[in-house]
Amino acid sequence: AWRPDDDDDQRRGSSGPVRVRVPAKVNLHLGVGPLRRDGYHELNTVYHAISIYDELTARRGDTLTLTMEGEGAGELALDDSNLAIRAAHALAGYAGVLPHARLHLRKQIPLAGGLAGGSADAAAALVACDALWGTGLSRDELAGIAADLGSDVPFLIHGGTALGTGRGEAVSPVLARPTSWHWVVAVADGGLSTPAAYRELDRLRAAGTAGTPLGSTDGLLGALRQRDPRVLAGCLGNDLQDAALSMRPALADTLKAGEAAGALAGIVSGSGPTCVFLARDAADAQRIATEVAEAGVCRETRVAHGPVPGARVG
Ligand code: C5P
């Protein structure tokens, strides 16, 4: 029903706090092509948003500030180098408004974990400030601003399961019949640097010791349509996994523990060091999570399901 407030909200934004929830991502297929002249690698990837969330609250303020609690609080810079702050500046510049907001982050996505936590926070800041300021941009417009902030920020605006090309910023949804996939996420101690992982892959490739590149996403896309976790398990792949294992050899033990616990498949997520395991169903995921945690090969395990929507108010 129409309410008199609706139009005002559109024009002036929100006077109360705006809360946005944003998921973590895994790459079901991460095909890394050659290094481009701009320093990025050409990607063929399938992104998948999973039910581990950061929450960003935006309130009216006289300046732009950021505070945080949860995963990695105290380790992350809260100044202009923070991707959420950069996102607020980018949106304000685009929309021609003052970048005034008090942002607060409750983080559950590990830092530098290969789950795109920083990118998720940038996506959340775009969606939250758009609502707070009443700038009323479309999701595609927000994704356009997002692309300048980081290669996987546009995906976190959209969420779901999506194909990523270019350097990962060109996103198109994968249309599949609704299916939930069940995952076990093994969070490592400490993070890995994404640029370092890409450099290590280039080094391994130059030395001829990297695995054969995955190439096309066709196999994975076909597997998603079959809705059978055993079929999907056979098609998961990550070209950055060799690099992550080379930088952090102990991850091989984490992957082995998941296998020993009966996971259908295990891969390093993105540039690592988080490992994700595919389970048959929710109960299987819970059992594997307990077993992998008991093996002492990671900081903690969590269960998650996907796909879930991208950054959303509420
Ligand atoms: O896009 P984003 O800033 O998140 O990327 C971080 C770094 O990861 C880049 O500076 C680059 O070193 C590496 N990268 C890459 N190829 C991509 C995406 C990221 O080499 N497609």
Q: What percent of the chain has pLDDT over 90?
A: 91
> Is ligand 1 within 6 A of the CB of residue 116?
no
The preferred substitution site among 25, 38, 40 for testing ligand 1, maximizing ligand atoms within 8 Å of CB, is: 40
Residue 6, pLDDT > 60, answer: no
Q: Are 20 and 160 members of one domain?
A: yes
Q: Are 139 and 203 members of one domain?
A: no
Q: Are 185 and 168 members of one domain?
A: no
Its ipTM equals 0.99
Domain that holds residue 190: 181-306
The helix (run of H) or strand (run of E) holding residue 155 is helix 153-158
Nearest CA to ligand 1 atom 2: 150
Which of 124, 154, 174 terminates a domain? The answer is 174
Q: Are 146 and 198 members of one domain?
A: no
Q: What is the pLDDT of residues 201-255, one digit of tens each?
A: 999 999 999 999 999 999 999 999 999 999 999 999 999 999 999 999 999 999 9
Nearest CA to ligand 1 atom 15: 40
> Is ligand 1 within 6 A of the CB of residue 118?
no
Q: Are 63 and 113 members of one domain?
A: yes
For the entire predicted model, the pTM comes to 0.95
Q: Are 84 and 118 members of one domain?
A: yes
Residue with tokens 């895994």: 26
Q: Are 195 and 81 members of one domain?
A: no
Residue 2, pLDDT > 70, answer: no
Sign of CA dihedral 133, 138, 143, 144: negative
Q: Are 297 and 221 members of one domain?
A: yes
Which CATH number belongs to the domain containing residue 188 in this structure?
Answer: 3.30.70.890
The helix (run of H) or strand (run of E) holding residue 107 is strand 101-107
pLDDT of residue 11: 54
Q: Which residues define the annotated binding site for ATP? A: 110-120
Residue 68, pLDDT > 60, answer: yes
Q: Which of 25, 107, 130, 239 is catalytic?
A: 25
Q: Are 11 and 160 members of one domain?
A: yes
140: annotated active-site residue: no
- Has residue 314 been placed in a domain? no
> Is ligand 1 within 6 A of the CB of residue 40?
yes
Burial category of 87 from C-beta neighbours within 10 Å (exposed 0-12, middle 13-18, buried 19 and up)? buried
Return d(Cα 242, Cα 214) in angstroms, integer.
12
Domain count, the chain: 2
Task: Give residue 7's pLDDT band: very low, low, confident or very high (50, 70, 90).
Answer: very low
Which CATH number belongs to the domain containing residue 103 in this structure?
Answer: 3.30.230.10
Task: Give residue 9's pLDDT band: very low, low, confident or very high (50, 70, 90).
Answer: very low
Q: Which residues define the annotated binding site? A: 110-120
Return d(Cα 118, Cα 109) in angstroms, integer.
9
Q: Are 21 and 160 members of one domain?
A: yes
Which of 174, 202, 230 terminates a domain? The answer is 174
Nearest CA to ligand 1 atom 14: 40
DSSP states of 182-199: EEEEEEPSS---HHHHHH
- Has residue 312 been placed in a domain? no
The two most distant CA atoms of the chain are separated, in Å, by 66
- Has residue 165 been placed in a domain? yes
Query: How far, in Å, is the centroid of ligand 1 from the Cα of 39?
Result: 8
> Is ligand 1 within 6 A of the CB of residue 27?
no
Q: Are 46 and 194 members of one domain?
A: no
- Has residue 102 been placed in a domain? yes
The preferred substitution site among 41, 82, 121 for testing ligand 1, maximizing ligand atoms within 8 Å of CB, is: 41
> Is ligand 1 within 6 A of the CB of residue 164?
no
Which of 125, 146, 174 terminates a domain? The answer is 174
Nearest CA to ligand 1 atom 8: 195
- Has residue 40 been placed in a domain? yes
Query: How far, in Å, is the centroid of ligand 1 from the Cα of 137?
Result: 26
Q: Are 166 and 222 members of one domain?
A: no
The C-alpha torsion from 160 through 265 and 210 to 243, rounded to 10°, is 70
- Has residue 260 been placed in a domain? yes
Q: What is the pLDDT of residues 165-213, one digit of tens each?
A: 999 999 999 987 789 999 999 999 999 999 999 999 999 999 999 999 9
- Has residue 56 been placed in a domain? yes
Closest by CA position to 58, among listed 21, 23, 83, 93: 21
> Is ligand 1 within 6 A of the CB of residue 124?
no
- Has residue 52 been placed in a domain? yes
Spatial neighbors of 235 by CB under 8 A, at least 6 apart, are: 28, 29, 219, 220, 222, 223
152: annotated active-site residue: yes
Q: Which of 152, 239, 242, 284 is catalytic?
A: 152
Q: What is the pLDDT of residues 251-309, one digit of tens each?
A: 999 999 999 999 999 999 999 999 999 999 999 999 999 999 999 999 999 999 999 99
